[in-house]
Amino acid sequence: MKNKLFKTVDSYMPQLKALSDDIFDHPEIGFEEEYACKLLTDYLKKEGFTVEIGTGGLPTAFRAEYEQGTGGPVVGFLGEYDALANLGHGCGHHLQTPAAIGAALAIRDNIKDRPYKLVIYGTPAEETRGGKINMANAGCFKELDMVFSNHTANTTAGSNNHVALASSVVEWTGTSAHAGGSPEKGRSALDAMMLAFHGLECMREHIRTGSRIHYTILEGTGAANIVHPKARARVTCRSADKTYLEDMLRRMRKVMEGSALMTETEVKVEHDPMFYDTVINMALHNAVEKNAELLDVKKLVHKTEAQINVTGGGATDYGNVSYVCPGVMFYVEYGDNVVAHTPEYVALGKTQEAFNYLKNCASIMAGVTYDFLYDEEFRTEVTEEYKHRLREKGIEA
């Protein structure tokens, strides 16, 4: 049956490649992916999926569903399609949703003897504000018994670690004055920002290993001979789990408030939506690796749980989905050690490497879906591990 699934994916490859190439040729940044959303949803409608556009209150998000029978497992697929500003598709997002569609079509065409539901979520703006965060907060993904997310990488792997991340915009307001003639009348927002940055440096010494603090100046403060009335900065904090990150944000806010107290200025802190850490699922991780072994996938790396937990430092809005339902974000080799978010990565977008990624990614998801639909013990293992992982984080599933 898996050979049939893989051959079915092959049969759809001309259509899937046409979709991904079309998205690549029309790059759109986050929350502006109108062309990609229409292209993908029109295709899914043509293939008999029930389609909703504007899912989770996001105009360029969608939900597409195909159901056979009633009461069976619900398998989800996540797809991104946003590009990078002033660069284009330098992160492989044009491939993700076509791969999800290929996997779903392979299952639909071959699995006829049991009930199931396939749900494809189109998820905008991963590169910027994290569309999946909005969608999860709006109640999406709760119906899924498991979900796939996929991404390009330099190696093929069942999953990687992702940290929790939160960015904040901080704005200080002081009182302007002439720095030479009447400095005593001024209260410097620049002084407050500099004190805050020093406070963050002191805070760095007293956070967990692996946690991070970054900051930058967003707005210049003016000439040297004035007391500066305005200053703006962005502060980004990262941690291995969202609970510890929440405490880091509490401490960071105290630093900001302290800087204002010392300088008699006012401070306002606005937090962007938080990207959660990823709830890993080793049952799904191992299933991805086993199905990858059946394919001609390059650079397959087998990782233990310990190896996953020390890998990476990036963040993704898939983490928020992983707190809603069991899932796996896996990686398939794409190019040869080319760095993402570069012109070199863009250059790979319509090459044989892209074609191979699309085919292998769709085939892996089709194979793991087959396992999930037919192996009740595997489904139970996925579900019970998920509940256990959440309990470790103090959450009841």
Domain boundaries in the chain? 2-162+278-392, 164-271
Query: Cα 288 vs. chain centroid, distance in angstroms?
Result: 19
**Grouped pLDDT means (10 residues each) for the chain, 397 residues:** 98 98 98 98 98 98 98 98 98 98 98 98 95 98 98 94 95 96 96 98 95 94 92 96 95 98 98 95 98 91 87 84 98 92 97 97 98 98 98 88
Helices (H), ranges, 26-129: 34-46, 93-110
What distance in Å separates the CA atoms of residue 222 and residue 237, rounded to the nearest whole number? 27
Smallest CA-to-CA distance from 215 within 252, 188, 184 is with 252
Q: Check residue 311 and give its pLDDT.
A: 53
Q: Check residue 141 and give its pLDDT.
A: 98
Strand partners, 332: 152
Q: Check residue 396 and give its pLDDT.
A: 84
Three-class SS state of 252: helix
Architecture of domain 2-162+278-392: 3-Layer(aba) Sandwich (3.40)
Helix (H) or strand (E) holding 379: helix 376-392
Helix (H) or strand (E) holding 351: none
Residue 202: is it exposed, middle or buried by C-beta count within 10 angstroms (0-12/13-18/19+)? exposed
Three-class SS state of 118: strand
Q: Which fold has domain 164-271?
A: Alpha-Beta Plaits (3.30.70)
Q: Check residue 298 and give its pLDDT.
A: 80
Q: Check residue 312 and give its pLDDT.
A: 59
What is the amino acid identity at position 312?
A: G
The CA distances from residue 214 to 70, 168, 274, in Å, are 49, 11, 15
Q: Check residue 208 and give its pLDDT.
A: 94
The CA distances from residue 116 to 7, 65, 133, in Å, are 21, 11, 26
Q: Check residue 121 and give its pLDDT.
A: 98
The CA distances from residue 51 to 30, 61, 117, 144, in Å, are 21, 11, 14, 16
